[in-house]
Amino acid sequence: MSNLNLFELSCGAQSYDWGKLGQSSAVARYAAASNPDFSVNEDQPYAELWMGTHPSVPSKNIASGETLRDLVTTHPELLGPAVSGAFGAGELPFLFKVLSIRKALSIQAHPDKALGAQLHAADPKNYPDDNHKPEMAIAVTAFEGFCGFRPLEQISALLESVPEFKEIIGDAEAKAFETAVAGQEHAAEGSPEDKANRKALQALFSKLMNASADRVEDTARRLVERAASQSETFAAGFAYFDELAEDNGVRRGTDLAHLITRLNTQFPNDIGLFCGGLLLNYVRLYPGEAMFLRAKDPHAYISGDIIECMAASDNVVRAGFTPKFKDVDNLVSMLTYSYNPVLEQKMKPLPFPRAHATNGSAEFILYDPPIAEFAVLEGKLEPTATAAVEGLAGPSILITTEGAGKISTQGTEITLHAGSVIFIAPGTPVDIEASERLVTYRAFVEVSPETKL
């Protein structure tokens, strides 16, 4: 058996319709890199690479063939007593993924722990566990998605400039929303004005989500026709400043028109054109940038390759861009109705002093979301650089997304290449060496006395 402090994993791929096709999918390339029996079909979508202990797609120790789930069960030291005590034995508290996105995923939100337990007890078929599912996404390639409701002044402007939007909401309901939020769009969080804003946004969203299927299809069809034929004047010149834009930061009605027509080719006349395209923040991330998806906030991925880390759960409440079960009542009642600008969805990278270059140029940054189950460490080493990373107090999984090199500890050395996935046991220091520019992402969990579950 290989050294259980450091060993290479073979990880399985999930094929969903929204995944990128064949070799264009990072998921397919990475899966093939660690499994010589994995054959890439150029006509098949490869959507997700799963790295962890989830029984649906178990990661395996390449040397022994044992599943990681079996290994952490028979060798509890691979989790460590603190992690097992906090989250339970026999399973990592996080699931680490690569996603390759060709078409939009469903607009969705995830319950917090309390609601997750309630939904599971009431409807175990659609809510298969009782856990929450916070998620973090880090862009590997250029990425776009939806995250959280737009600022209120943008929603009011779109109600006035997109006739189909006001029509599906209704004149009276649209007027009620605009009157309720006027002059207090930037109310302090938790203030009476903020609570009134959220109540008004909830009423607007409820009206949209409860529109009849025939009304949605008819109104969406006319929305798309006008977006296609009048893109230059769509939304009456609607524009807003987007701090995440790589260009001059201005998003215009033409951008929105093109987005709506593009999404309509994937999900014709879908309610997601309204609840995603008009109500939610449009987000662009560039390689290495990250966002955290809070519980009870609506979001969707549109395109790109990302690293994703989440709590080990499969609870999803869907809103649009999906043929799957939509739980409108629970969705409307559960959301936070936060309306922060898109910049606030972006995570701030933090320094990580426990990892440093020992030769040449190497940079490590930490993405540490406000939850206990995981954090992700990004490492970038220039050619011939070496780096040392101290042992972490909990288990971790590292994936190489670019380049080549090697990782070593205590007499064990493993070659790294794009798609290499490595398990690192608690307390294991590692040395990393780059033979060409090397980019890695490492998900890990550490439990401290301050950890709040």
335 with 194, same domain: the answer is yes
Q: Does 304 fall in a domain?
A: no
In the chain, the number of structural domains is 3
Polymer length in residues for the chain: 453
Domain span at residue 264 reads 151-278+321-342
Q: Does 166 fall in a domain?
A: yes
CATH number for the domain spanning 32: value is 2.60.120.10
Q: Does 300 fall in a domain?
A: no
Q: Does 315 fall in a domain?
A: no
156 with 53, same domain: the answer is no
Per-residue tokens: 320: 């649009």
64 with 125, same domain: the answer is yes
188 with 330, same domain: the answer is yes
Is position 318 annotated as part of the catalytic site? yes
CATH number for the domain spanning 328: value is 1.10.441.10
Q: Does 293 fall in a domain?
A: no
Whether 222 has a pLDDT exceeding 80, the answer reads yes
Q: Does 185 fall in a domain?
A: yes
Ramachandran region, residue 323 (left: φ > 0; alpha: ψ -120 to 50; beta: rest): alpha
- Residue 110, marked binder: yes
Of 90, 115, 144, the residue that ends a domain is 144
Catalytic residue among 318, 354, 437, 442: 318
Whether 438 has a pLDDT exceeding 80, the answer reads yes
**What is the percent of the chain where pLDDT is above 90?**
71
Contact criterion met (CB below 8 Å) for 26 and 446: no
Whether 132 has a pLDDT exceeding 50, the answer reads no
Contact criterion met (CB below 8 Å) for 97 and 309: yes
76 with 170, same domain: the answer is no
Q: Does 79 fall in a domain?
A: yes
174 with 232, same domain: the answer is yes
* 179-216 pLDDT, tens digit each: 999 999 999 999 999 999 999 999 999 999 999 999 99
φ, ψ for residue 266 (rounded to 5)? -90, -40
328 with 404, same domain: the answer is no
Per-residue tokens: 343: 């910049």
Q: Which of 41-55, 171-185, 198-212, 311-325 has the lowest mean pLDDT?
A: 311-325
36 with 61, same domain: the answer is yes
82 with 46, same domain: the answer is yes
Q: Does 302 fall in a domain?
A: no
